[in-house]
Structure 1
Amino acid sequence: MSDQRHVANDEIGAARAVGPEAVRRGLAAVRTGTALPLAAPIRNGVGYGLVGRAAPVHLMIRTGADYAAGLPERAGFGYADDVITLPTHGATHVDALAHVWRDGLMYNGFPAREVTSRGARHLGIDRMPPIVTRGVVVDTCPGGVRSPADPVHRDELAALVADAGVDLEPGDALLVRTGWLAAALAGDADSTSWPGLHHDCATWLAERQVVLVGADNPAVEVFPSFDPACQVPLHIELIRGHGVYLAELMALDALCAAGRPEFLFVLSPLPLVGAVGSPVAPVAVV
């Protein structure tokens, strides 16, 4: 496991590689101008069964029925309003650099004690800038669902990217389809294990200086992991070791069906001050 300290007091990690050149590379990848949403639906009471991550609660706090029952319209109009409660990691989301640590240290040497009951004093999701860059997508199991017993190893991931005819460049985002989310939405997925990347992919990804790795599963990496010493070794190596962001529970089926392995990728977290993750609604423009 690496413990790179790129820049003193740096809190944005790999996002430093997303400059004008990366943005222009993403724009140059657009061919049809079609925008594809990459977020899974958020429905009241429907979650993924993940431990510690309750299902969303969506409540209407003003409706047309209120006016039908006698609430008068004021100043010539009526309105509806609502509220939602959900875990920041319970829908399509991106992890903050404060999300994980090892030996008491987070990315860039910040101590884990900086994450308190009031939130993260450093490396919170509010420090993450918007990501506008080139995205690259690979499908590890076209038309199906990969098995958790068959993690995606480094050589296979490299081959999938090569087969897509793309060379990953600093600041790119790599998205990986496993088929798990589609199965979950159909009620057929196991919430205690899922397919994903083996932790031997971490060094290869870090060497290419990707800004973000996303997947259609709950953790990007396979779970249970194949590392007897750590439950989430890819998280530790990429987030803690290199400041690479992980985006999870992404809807990638339509993107893979579009047949465009490279595209403009746009993702921006909610500016939740001190949060260690944020729901997101990323977009691919193909």
Structure 2
Amino acid sequence: MKTTTFILVTLLTIKAATAQQKEAVGESPWGPDDEIGTLNMMTEASQLQVLSQIASGKVYDLSVDYFVGMPSFHSLGDPGYQYWLTHTPHGTVVDNPNGLGEAMNQKVSYTGDAISMYTHMGTHIDALNHFGLNGKIWNGFTPEEHLGDKGWKKTGAETIPPIIARGVLLDVAAAKGPLPKNYRISAADLQLVLRKQNVRLQNGDVVLIRTGQAQHYENAADYLDNYPGISLDAVKWLVEEMDIMLLGADNLSFEAFPPERTDNWVPVHTYLLAEKGAMFIEQMFLEKLSADKVYEFAFIAASLKLRGASASPMRPVAFPIQTKQ
């Protein structure tokens, strides 16, 4: 019995070690200096093509509001969203900060404000330096060589270009009904959605996954409560077989928790960012696209050029396009 137990433990240890060894940062096919990974799939020709297919001037805003008390990663010790007024109409009359006197400050009202926030809040895109494996990030860049006191010198949010591409909504919540807590969306689920929506994916697409979680965004406790997310096999299918360029979802952190592997607490993050150089957008608002059954669109977005940062707020929009169906 002891021998059998020893052999079983040994085999499990070897299996776990092998699984860990298979996870390694990817070497970019776009060269040793590449910092944007799969966004290299975007070209002037591909951008022009999707823009030429826009069918109407109706625009869908795919971002959420920022406000005090909004959902955040506070459980990991990250700061919440803070907002404060630096100038108010009455305060400037009292303080006279511009030195122009009471009469001028009563005539010209002045409001100013400031914010403080974690970069991974609200609708944002994760940069390729956000998660790495075995001491390296995408394309083999190391913190010893490329991380300074003021951020990463490689793959920072400032390197992310404006994104114009064909977008596809995969409305999982509509196809399967309300998803259970902690539900992991599989490749089979996504294939089911594509059949129901009568949509085909194309190389270089931006694929947005609707879990329905954005319905709870105004209530942080509900939004953060054991939310569903995408599985590792689903993202592997999207990236390796469908050649997707960019991903997004309406939940807090894209994948579901607790993690589906015991040797990696964020296997979807490290697979996409570190192994494949594929970025993704979190905390999107996809409810209006879903309500109008808009599944194919021109996706247009740009993020703030936060030098060295691991993420940046993003304001994506969608314009319905003509389809071949």
Q: Distance in 2 between matches of 1:136 and 1:101?
A: 28
Question: Segments of 4+ in structure 1 off by > 4 A?
Answer: none
Does residue 215 in structure 1 map to residue 249 in structure 2?
A: yes
Give the equivalent residue in structure 1 for 2:314: 280
Does residue 125 in structure 1 map to residue 150 in structure 2?
A: no
Matches within 5 A, 1:36-51: 36-48=60-72, 50-51=74-75
Q: Distance in 2 between matches of 1:224 and 1:117?
A: 32
**Which residue identity does 1:238 align to in structure 2?**
L
Structure 1 contact 50–191 (Cα < 8 Å) conserved: no
Give the equivalent residue in structure 2 for 1:166: 199
Structure 1 contact 97–124 (Cα < 8 Å) conserved: yes
**Once the 2 structures are TM-superposed, how far is the Cα of residue 83 of structure 1 from its aligned partner?**
0.8
Q: TM-score, normalised by structure 1?
A: 0.91
* Aligned mate of 2:171, from 111, 134, 139: 139
Structure 1 window deviating more from structure 2 (108-117 vs 166-175): it is 108-117
* Aligned mate of 1:227, from 241, 261, 265: 261
Q: Highest CA radius of gyration, 1 or 2?
A: 2
* Structure 2, gaps ≥5 residues long: 1-22, 321-325
Give the equivalent residue in structure 2 for 1:10: 34
Identity level (%): 28
Structure 1 contact 134–172 (Cα < 8 Å) conserved: yes
* Aligned mate of 1:88, from 102, 113, 119: 119
Does residue 179 in structure 1 map to residue 204 in structure 2?
A: no
2:281 partner SS: strand
Q: Structure 1 residues 70, 116: closer, same or farther in 2, change over 3 A?
A: closer
Give the equivalent residue in structure 2 for 1:196: 229
Give the equivalent residue in structure 2 for 1:100: 131
Deviations 1:203-259 (A, max 9, x none): 212122322110011121112221222111111111111111110011111121121
Q: Distance in 2 between matches of 1:29 and 1:148?
A: 38
Structure 1 window deviating more from structure 2 (81-90 vs 38-47): it is 38-47
More helix by share: 2
**Once the 2 structures are TM-superposed, how far is the Cα of residue 53 of structure 1 from its aligned partner?**
3.2
Give the equivalent residue in structure 2 for 1:260: 294
Q: Distance in 1 between matches of 2:53 and 2:201?
A: 13
**Once the 2 structures are TM-superposed, how far is the Cα of residue 67 of structure 1 from its aligned partner?**
4.3
Structure 1 vs Structure 2 CA RMSD: 2.2
Query: How many aligned residue pairs are there?
Result: 285
Q: Structure 1 residues 110, 49: closer, same or farther in 2, change over 3 A?
A: closer
**Once the 2 structures are TM-superposed, how far is the Cα of residue 283 of structure 1 from its aligned partner?**
1.0
Q: Distance in 1 between matches of 2:95 and 2:150?
A: 42
**Once the 2 structures are TM-superposed, how far is the Cα of residue 77 of structure 1 from its aligned partner?**
4.0
Q: TM-score, normalised by structure 2?
A: 0.80
Q: Structure 1 residues 239, 187: closer, same or farther in 2, change over 3 A?
A: closer
**Which residue identity does 2:119 align to in structure 1?**
T
**Once the 2 structures are TM-superposed, how far is the Cα of residue 139 of structure 1 from its aligned partner?**
1.4
**Which residue identity does 2:165 align to in structure 1?**
T
**Which residue identity does 1:90 align to in structure 2?**
M
1:160 partner SS: helix
